[in-house]
Chains A and B, each alone.
Chain A
Amino acid sequence: MGRKRTTSVTHGTRYVAIADYLKHRIDQEVDFYNMRVRSLDDEAETVSSVAALIRTICSSYSLRFLEGWIEPYAIESESDVQFSMHIDRQSSGLWNSVIRAGGATDLHHLINLSLADYFDREDQRAILWCDRLIIIEQQLAAQDWESIKELLYVG
């Protein structure tokens, strides 16, 4: 797929190869959160907030991996998108720990894994809440207060 293979992550502005379907979803995600902001650094306007979101998702995934919550797996895509983003020292340090621990082969693998994992979990939660909202609507109309409290109330 023409990915530039590196075994460790260095800080600074780097090109990362992101599977095109994941790049498409992260673009949608930025709109979903209304995160498009004007960039103050050398990243392009719309790239800035996408990069910020990727850094957050990747670091969150890295911490969960290092805590032993995640089994890494191979991830492949038909085509990749080259994406330029800034990687700060703190992020590169954390991400290198994951690569050293065998959680990913390189930066590109790690970012793709973390995005795939993020969207998997978001999709699962969306399905859960889609069903729950319908159930709550029915329970409200049936004045079934106890079932609503049982479904939602954690106290």
Chain B
Amino acid sequence: MSYPRFVPLYDHKELEKLLSLWAAGSLDSIASPHGVAVGVEDCDYSPQGFRPMSLLSRYTSEEVELVLFEMAIAPAPWPQYTAILIAKSLAKTPLSDLARSLGVDCSLVQGYYSQAQDEFMRRLMRRTSSVGGIYG
């Protein structure tokens, strides 16, 4: 499946939290604190009005797993980058350890990791948000 690449905007810390909660098996119990805004995609209520839902309340374990699987069977280098994303996010593995194991410099692995994060979010957002509808 091909689709135009877009730059996903997200909070990197929140993505790490999303993957940690998925690994802990508690992602699906996170709900929007103020309830979903009916008829407005991916938003919830706040005292100031609508606001974007956090990644944690927006996505389910099933969606995380689907995207991880998609990336794992995508052409190289995505399977390896996905393994780096998982190792760094779940085990808090220092990027220097991963760089050494791959025989490359730290700055390169930082790049692999950032690309894996962006690709993961690109695919995840495309699954459930209107972004895919507009650009895909």
For A, the interface residue count at a CB cutoff of 8 angstroms equals: 27
Q: 1/0 contact trace for A55-90 toward B, CB 8 Å? A: 000000000000000000000000000000000000
Check if B73 is an interface residue, CB within 8 A of chain A: yes
Q: Which applies to chain A's interface (DSSP): helix, strand, loop or mixed?
A: helix
Judge whether B100 and A140 touch: CB under 8 Å. Answer: no
Q: Are A153 and B79 in contact (CB under 8 A)?
A: no
Interface positions of B (Cβ within 8 A of A)? 20, 23-24, 65, 68-69, 71-73, 79-80, 82-84, 86-87, 90-91, 93, 96-102, 105-107
Considering the chains assembled together, what is the distance between the CA atoms of A143 and B97 in angstroms?
25
A133 near B87: Cβ-Cβ < 8 Å: yes
Check A129 against B97 for contact (C-beta < 8 Å). yes
Q: Are A140 and B91 in contact (CB under 8 A)?
A: no
Q: Are B102 and A133 in contact (CB under 8 A)?
A: yes
- Looking at the assembled complex, report how far the CB atom of A15 sits from the nearest CB atom of chain B, in whole angstroms: 29
> Which residues of chain B are near A152, meaning CB under 8 Å?
23, 86-87, 90-91
> Which of the residues B24, B87, B100, B107 comes within 8 Å of A136, measured between beta carbons?
B87
Q: Is the CB of B100 within 8 A of A129?
A: yes
Contacts A/B (CB < 8 Å), 5 sampled: A32-B99, A129-B101, A133-B83, A136-B83, A137-B82
Are B107 and A140 neighbours in the complex by a CB distance under 8 Å? no
B72 and A155 contacting across the interface, CB-CB below 8 Å = no
In the complex, chain A residues whose CB is within 8 Å of the CB of B105:
31-32, 34
Report the minimal beta-carbon distance from B12 to chain A, rounded to whole angstroms: 19
Contacts A132-B87, A133-B80, A152-B23 known; A140 to B69 CB distance under 8 Å? yes
